[in-house]
């Protein structure tokens, strides 16, 4: 089987495309350089994975033009959604219909300048300086010999493990959220005691526990397993527990536009139990509530809390 033809983009190629995207957005929104102060930056959501690299490059390029653009973890309330390229257009159409204007680093009108499979410079960099070498350096840092028999294959095993633990970066949570139109059901939907595992971004140590997710439909319902899958995608990334809650409710709000959504997480953190204060039985509880769950008079919050206590 013949290898597909590849077009290797240089950093200069993608920098030119980033400049094109920044200027196109600024022109279409009639922004001046001083109209985005530090308190109101332009928020960019990068679609995993290529869109994350593209978004970072857009932020750097925007700064050179005098604008303040920042990457955000949550797709809700962002100004720009970015991906590395447009292939079939399915992802672009999904996001542009549901949430925000869609921008891409390689514009469809310019894609025909590059023939075959497009290889970005950050993809080449990852291949040339593999993560296994970084694991070897860590082993040397802690005083080990990465060439001894027991550790010889450890770098490749660690990389495969990381590929699993952080597999959420490869998945787009909103593409999992297939929903059904249902105007008749208006009662609370609750999924309790969902086991989850994540990794704290501050010390890269595990935290794990249980999640409780709820929403009140407003014409749309989602398959119940999708709530667990949504949590799984976001938890399989470097995280803080507070943000993980907000990402779950943010995705529910963006796709379903429910009357309200809620997420409560209870977790143990290895950075508390295995280091630092070393409190073995400590648990952290966080919540994110939207819509009617925020209004005490509506009774949704107390009903939800009663359900998860049982």
Predicted structure pTM score: 0.67
Which backbone phi and psi does 273 adopt, to 5 degrees? -95, -30
What pLDDT does residue 94 have? 67
Whether 149 has a pLDDT exceeding 80, the answer reads: yes
Class of domain 169-309: alpha beta
Domain boundaries, the chain: 6-113, 130-165, 169-309
What pLDDT does residue 112 have? 54
Which string of DSSP letters, residue by residue, matches 9-36?
Answer: --HHHHHHHHHHHHHHHHHHHT--GGGS
pLDDT tens, position by position, 269-299:
988 888 878 887 888 999 999 999 988 777 8
pLDDT band at 48 (very low <50, low <70, confident <90, very high): confident
What pLDDT does residue 33 have? 46
Whether 230 has a pLDDT exceeding 80, the answer reads: yes
Q: How far apart are CA 70 and CA 67, in angstroms?
A: 10
Q: How far apart are CA 45 and CA 15, in angstroms?
A: 18
Q: How far is CA 156 from CA 126, 139, 159, in A?
A: 15, 13, 5
Phi-psi region of 7 (alpha: psi -120 to 50; beta: other; left: phi over 0): beta
Whether 30 has a pLDDT exceeding 70, the answer reads: no
pLDDT tens, position by position, 107-121:
555 555 556 677 777
Whether 43 has a pLDDT exceeding 70, the answer reads: yes
pLDDT band at 38 (very low <50, low <70, confident <90, very high): very low
What pLDDT does residue 34 have? 46
What pLDDT does residue 25 have? 78
Per the CB < 8 A criterion, the answer to whether 238 and 204 are in contact is yes
pLDDT band at 181 (very low <50, low <70, confident <90, very high): confident
pLDDT tens, position by position, 52-84:
888 888 888 888 888 888 888 777 677 888 887
Residues 6+ apart with CB under 8 A from 19: 61, 65
Token representation of residue 20: 């094109």
Strands 117-119 and 102-106: unpaired
Q: Which fold has domain 6-113?
A: Rossmann fold (3.40.50)
Map tokens 């955000």 to a residue: 72
């Amino acid at each position: 089987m013949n290898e597909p033809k590849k077009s290797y983009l240089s950093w200069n190629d993608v920098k030119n495309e980033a400049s094109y995207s920044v200027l196109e957005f600024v022109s279409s929104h009639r922004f001046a350089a001083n109209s985005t102060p530090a308190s109101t930056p332009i928020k960019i959501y990068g679609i995993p994975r290529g869109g994350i690299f593209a978004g970072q490059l857009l932020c750097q390029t925007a700064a050179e033009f005098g604008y303040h653009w920042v990457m955000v973890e949550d797709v809700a309330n962002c100004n720009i959604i970015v991906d590395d390229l447009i292939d079939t257009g399915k992802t672009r159409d999904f996001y542009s219909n549901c949430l925000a204007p869609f921008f891409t680093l390689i514009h469809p009108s310019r894609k025909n300048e590059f023939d075959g499979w497009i290889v970005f410079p950050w993809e080449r960099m990852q291949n040339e300086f593999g993560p296994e070498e970084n694991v070897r350096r860590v082993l040397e840092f802690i005083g080990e010999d990465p060439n001894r028999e027991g550790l010889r294959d450890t770098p490749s095993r660690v990389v495969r493990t990381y590929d699993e633990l952080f597999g959420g970066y490869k998945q787009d949570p909103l593409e999992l959220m297939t929903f059904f139109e249902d105007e008749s059901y208006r009662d609370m939907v609750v999924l309790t005691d969902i086991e989850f595992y994540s990794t704290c971004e501050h010390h890269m140590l595990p935290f794990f526990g249980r999640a409780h997710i709820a929403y009140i439909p407003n014409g749309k319902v989602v398959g119940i397993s999708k709530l667990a899958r949504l949590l799984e995608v976001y938890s399989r990334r470097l995280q803080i527990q507070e943000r993980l809650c907000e990402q779950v409710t943010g995705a529910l709000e963006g796709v379903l536009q429910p009357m309200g959504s809620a997420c409560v997480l209870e977790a143990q953190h290895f950075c508390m139990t295995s280091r630092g204060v070393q409190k073995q039985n400590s648990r952290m509880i966080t919540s994110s509530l939207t819509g009617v769950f925020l209004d005490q008079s509506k009774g949704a919050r107390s009903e939800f809390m009663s359900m998860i206590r049982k």
